[in-house]
Amino acid sequence: MSSGAPCVWENNTERIIPLEPCTVVIIGASGDLAQRKIIPSLFSLFQNNTLPDPFLIVGCSRTKMDDSAFRDKMISAIDRKNGPHSQKRELFFQSLFYRSIDYKNPESYKKLAELIERLEKDRGMPANRIFYLAIPPVLYETTARMLGEARLSEETQGGGWSRIVVEKPFGKDLASARHLDGILHQYFKEPQIFRIDHYLAKETVQNIILFRFANTLFEPVWSRHYIESVRITAAESLGIEHRAGYYEQSGVLRDMFQNHMMQLLALTAMEPPSLFEADRIRDEKVKIYRSLRPFPVDRLDDFIILGQYGPGAVNGRIVPGYREESGVNPESLTPTFAMMKVFVDNWRWQGVPFFLSSGKRLEQKRTRIVIDFKEVPHAMFRRTPGGDIPANRLILGIYPKERISMTFQAKTPGNRVRLRPVTMELPYYLENDMPVFDSYEKVLQDCISGDQTLFWRQDGVELCWSFLQPILDACETCSDRPDKLHIYSAGSRGPEAAGMFSLKRLKNREQTCNESLLSPGRKRPHGTRF
């Protein structure tokens, strides 16, 4: 998953494959996502000479603008990320165009198709197109249909390709996810559909696979025989910002667990693929989703903690509680924090609890995976100073500390036998002289090259919704729903109940095995057509 243009190896020599010329069509180009992420990321790629030559960027949205006004609007977006005197900015703008459209009007898409064809002809470019849906999810279905009816989804016999990029959420439940997929597949084939999860494009997330499967030292102990528990945390210090309408309908489970948290779980728990290829990797992820133990919805308090942030202070700044945010129901029961305990019922992980937690308005923004190994089987140093030996711990830091750290025991220097914990760390970017792309730069480059390794496949989407749907139904319909929502202060570490919950150990490990893959009455998620 290296940054830069695609490459192949011939006689142990890396050979760069240039990206094919293409047109990137940003639908919703006047919106926040396009200005904060997409256009600045495309410009960064251009500055680093990793966009194809030639290329076109066509923005379109409801807003009435001409090309010049659109370019002026993008100046501030680019300067915020790259500085006010960005090199090559004027040259970049020569490939930037705009067309206002009505999302529900077929005639708008016909005129868009005519514009794209004319621009491609003027520059002698093939009909290679990427349609990035930077629009609210409620418009995905309509836009995909309009693109199809305008024949913009068709791939030409001469080699021209068409791809559609969809941001999460992929539906709001299993039924809507399947419905959206059905609409997309009316006009686009599966290899044409790129479902983005920008977490997967983070350098340190990609590194999980290499760390696990390129080191003989760790793979043999990566199992129930040596690991006591796994904790995956994605904490945010921000609140809902201006997304009250979306968040009130989603909550933390739909917003984070159905996608980001499930991907981090799969990367941590998956088996090694036979080859480092997109579908081989996604096959192994799907196996993990199929192996998730059905959630015990009749015992919610033992397996999930939900919370909602109240007023507090973040980084010394007083902030309102969730119910005081603009656009939020003053009596809202939408959770902004969740911690759940899940199990993977397979040979490698049977009985090992995975604690997944994510929340908003927490003490700090932090994403990491903590592997707690088992304690030594015999306390032979119990009579020596410092003889209470904590278990080894491995931390895969994703943000803000992008590093790998391992804690283990060693002797304290001196003439007495005394133990002390020491930590060995590897900063991820140590001695790196290669350009580092952010997550959106990476996924955009992969869309252009056609590499789907870092993107969701529909069977994975449906299996994750199948696992999460009973939890959502139980949490949203239980009679004591207000009592299950723990209020925590903004700027804290989350609900106090979550701290106790994550420290719980199974009273009887045998009990866990008895609730395994062969439990009576167990129902597995239905597979998909893939």
Q: DSSP readout, 189-225?
A: -GGGEEEE-GGGGSHHHHHHHHHHHS-TTTGGGSSTT
Q: What is the structure's pLDDT at 299? A: 92
- Which member of 185, 260, 378, 486 is catalytic? 260
pTM over 0.85, yes/no: yes
- Of 293, 287, 344, the residue nearest 459 (C-alpha): 287
Q: Is the Cβ–Cβ distance between 45 and 52 less than 8 Å?
A: no
Rg (CA), the chain: 25
87 pLDDT exceeds 80? no
147-156, 347-356, 438-447, 502-511: segment of lowest average pLDDT: 502-511
Q: What is the structure's pLDDT at 282? A: 94
Q: What is the pLDDT of residues 281-334, one digit of tens each?
A: 999 999 999 999 999 999 999 999 999 999 999 988 999 999 999 999 999 999
Give the residue with greater pLDDT, 223 vs 529.
223
Tokens of residue 14, six digits: 């890396």
Tokens of residue 529, six digits: 């057509």
Q: What is the pLDDT of residues 141-183, one digit of tens each?
A: 999 999 999 999 998 766 799 999 998 888 899 999 999 999 9
Average pLDDT over residues 362-374: 94
**Residue 304 phi/psi, 5° resolution?**
-150, 140
260 assigned to active site: yes
The residue behind tokens 């948290």 is: 261
229 pLDDT exceeds 70? yes
Write the DSSP symbol of residue 344.
B
- Of 146, 202, 149, 195, the residue nearest 168 (C-alpha): 195
Q: What is the mean pLDDT of the chain?
A: 86
Give the residue with greater pLDDT, 372 vs 503.
372
Helix (H, G, I), strand (E, B) or coil at 492: strand
Give the residue with greater pLDDT, 433 vs 280.
280
